[in-house]
Each structure stands twice: as C-alpha cells, then as structure tokens.
Amino acid sequence: MSDAGLHWYHTLELPGGELTPGWFDTRGAVDRVPWPAASLRGLRCLDVGTWDGFWAFEMERRGADEVVAIDVPDPRGWDWPARATPTGMEMLGVMKGEDRAFDVAARALRSRVRREDLSVYALDPERLGRFDLVFLGSLLLHLRDPVGALERVRAVCRGTLVLAETVELVASLRWPRRPVARLEGDDAPWWWQPNVATVRRMVRAAGFRAVAATGLYFVPLGPAHPRPPLREGWREARTPAGRERLVARWLGVPHTALRAVPSAA
C-alpha cells in the first residue's frame, strides 16, 4: 500500500509489516491507558477526534461489539486558534480538503469501525445514541472550550470515559495538586497547556468522577516528526516553551490518562 498523499497522525501497524509514518507513536501508550477491562466485548464504543483511527482500531481489536469514530474532516473546520490554522495545516501536510488516511487504514485492517464527520461539540444522543465507553486522545489542548466538549461527551456516555491527554511537564511536577494551565491560542495548534491536576479538574467540572488514573508518561514522536539538530534544541531551552519542545523531541510528549464515570446528577 502506498502512503503517497496521505497524512498520518498516528503510527499504525498494518498488514504485511507496514508501519505508517505517523507524527506520534502511541503504540506504547496502549498499555498505559486504564481500560475498564482487557476485553471490550459487549461494549459500544466511541473514539472522539479519531484522525486516522488508531484508538478506534485498538478498541475494535479488544473485541468491542461496535466502534464509532468521529472527527472533523476539513482542517478549516478545526477548533484551532485563528493564526495557527494555516501554519498547523502546513506543518501536518494537510492543506485543504479531507484526508483519506482513516479509510486506507480501515480497508487494510478490514475494519468495521464506522466513521462520522462530526465535531465533539455536536455530540448528541439523538444522532449517535449512547456509548458504554468513550475514548478521547490528546484532544482537549486543541479545543477552545475543553470543559464544554467534555460536557457533550457526558451527554452520550452511559458507562465509562477513558481519556489520555497531553500535559505540561514542568507545571505537573511543580504543582502536582494545584490546577494550572497556560493559555496560548497564538500561532501553535493548541489553546491550552494544562498540568495533570487541570486535566482531572476539567473532567470533574464536566460531570465525571475519576475512578482510575495514571501518573505522567511519554508518547514518543513518530517517524514523520522532524527532529532538528540537538544544538538547535538547546538554544530553544532558554524559555519554558522551548524546554517543553526539547523534552518532546527527545523523550516524547508528556501525557496522563484516567478512567471516569458520569457523576450522579
């Protein structure tokens, strides 16, 4: 299978030993995520912000009865800061229109995952029904209103939320219990850089109760992510944002994960 013209966000293992050149390699994070059980047999699952489907296909592999995956197909409709949209699209190599990576991977894997073109903000039980398990992976930092997005997730979640989210390393280590987030919203494709405590508070504020959580772990960059010479990284390390980028390039992107259930009204 040729990947010419495709834009892989995740590193996926496809039949025949093919490895997609993703920007991030989440394969090692699969066992860090606090799944409700090793098998998802009997569950109806939703993957929010699926891109090329890594987590949706993982839930299917774990035996889910049905998996629905949602995302916004046109980059011009992403909830990114205005200045970041053109630079982010160029960075990811997606300049216009819909990318076909999900469809190509689904065919190669002979997957039954159903993809819907839908924003997290538009989640509605009248359209998609309710789900036993909802998965969100590295999405909240890109959203202007992460708590509002989680509230929409709660509207369709009748069972468990599993969330794996990018966090800021220094703030997480310095303030392990105090919610702290840096608002960016400038020329990078994210609004927030939260610490671990902020992610947990967002989930609670949206009406969930955490029942399991991980500490910090790192998701390495994938083959498609350019790594500049180390000497350039050290020059960037003079600023907090530069130090975060340096950590990401050489250790991976800091993450935390949790499992939560809807709180009683």
Q: What is the pLDDT of residues 158-173, one digit of tens each?
A: 999 999 999 999 899 9
Q: What percent of the chain has pLDDT over 90?
A: 69
DSSP the chain: ---TT---SB--EEGGGEE---SB--GGGTTTS--S-S--BT-EEEEES-TTTHHHHHHHHTTBSEEEEEE-SSGGGS---TTHHHHHHHHHT--SS---HHHHHHHHHT--PEEEE--GGG--HHHH--EEEEEEES-GGG-S-HHHHHHHHHHHEEEEEEEEEE--HHHHHH-SSS--EEE--SSSS-SEEE-HHHHHHHHHHTTEEEEEE---EEE-B-TTS----HHHHHHHTTSHHHHHHHHHHHT-EEEEEEEEEEPP-
Fold annotation for 13-262: Rossmann fold (3.40.50)
Name the residue ranges covered by the structural domains of the chain. 13-262
Sign, CA torsion 7/10/11/15: negative
pTM greater than the 0.85 cutoff:
yes
Please give the distance of CA 176 from its chain centroid, rounded to a whole number: 22
Of the listed ranges 77-81, 235-239, 261-265, the least confidently predicted one is: 235-239
pLDDT at residue number 83:
82
pLDDT at residue number 57:
98
How large is the average pLDDT for residues 230-258?
71
Q: What is the pLDDT of residues 196-208, one digit of tens each?
A: 999 999 999 999 9
For tokens 């800021």, the residue is: 168
Grade residue 263 by pLDDT with cuts at 50, 70 and 90: very high
118-121: Cβ within 8 A, 24+ apart: 118/70, 118/71, 118/72, 119/70, 119/72, 119/77, 119/79, 120/48, 120/49, 120/70, 120/149, 120/152, 120/153, 121/79, 121/145, 121/148, 121/149, 121/152
